[in-house]
Amino acid sequence: MLEKSAQLVSLLAHSLSGFERLVVELHYIDKMPASEISQVLEVDEDEVESALAAIRHRVSQVRKAFVDALCRSEAEVGELVGAGGIE
C-alpha cells in the first residue's frame, strides 16, 4: 500500500503545472501565505488562492478514488476468502 501511495503522490506532482508546483512549494514547504506568494510571483492573490483551492480539490478527489479502490479490493478479497476461493 505504501508503494501505491508513493505512486499516487508522484502522479499528482507530475499533473501540476509549473505555476501550481511553485505555489505548492512556496505554500506548503516554505510556509508562505497566499499574499506573500502573490508578491513573489507577481500575480493577483486571488489567482494564488484559486490555484491552492484547485490543487486541494484535485488531491481530495484522487485520495477519495484511491481509498474507494482500496476498500473495493479489500472487500473483493474478503468475498473470495468467504467463498472459499482463497485459503
What is the per-residue pLDDT for 85? 44
> Class assignment of domain 11-82?
mainly alpha
What is the per-residue pLDDT for 87? 42
What is the per-residue pLDDT for 3? 76
C-beta atoms surrounding 37 within 10 Å: 22
State the Cα torsion 11-13-16-19 to the nearest 10°. Answer: -170
Domain boundaries, the chain: 11-82
pLDDT in tens, the chain (87 residues): 667 777 777 878 888 899 999 999 999 999 999 999 999 999 999 999 999 999 999 888 888 888 887 787 766 655 544 554 444
* Cell matching residue 55: 490543487
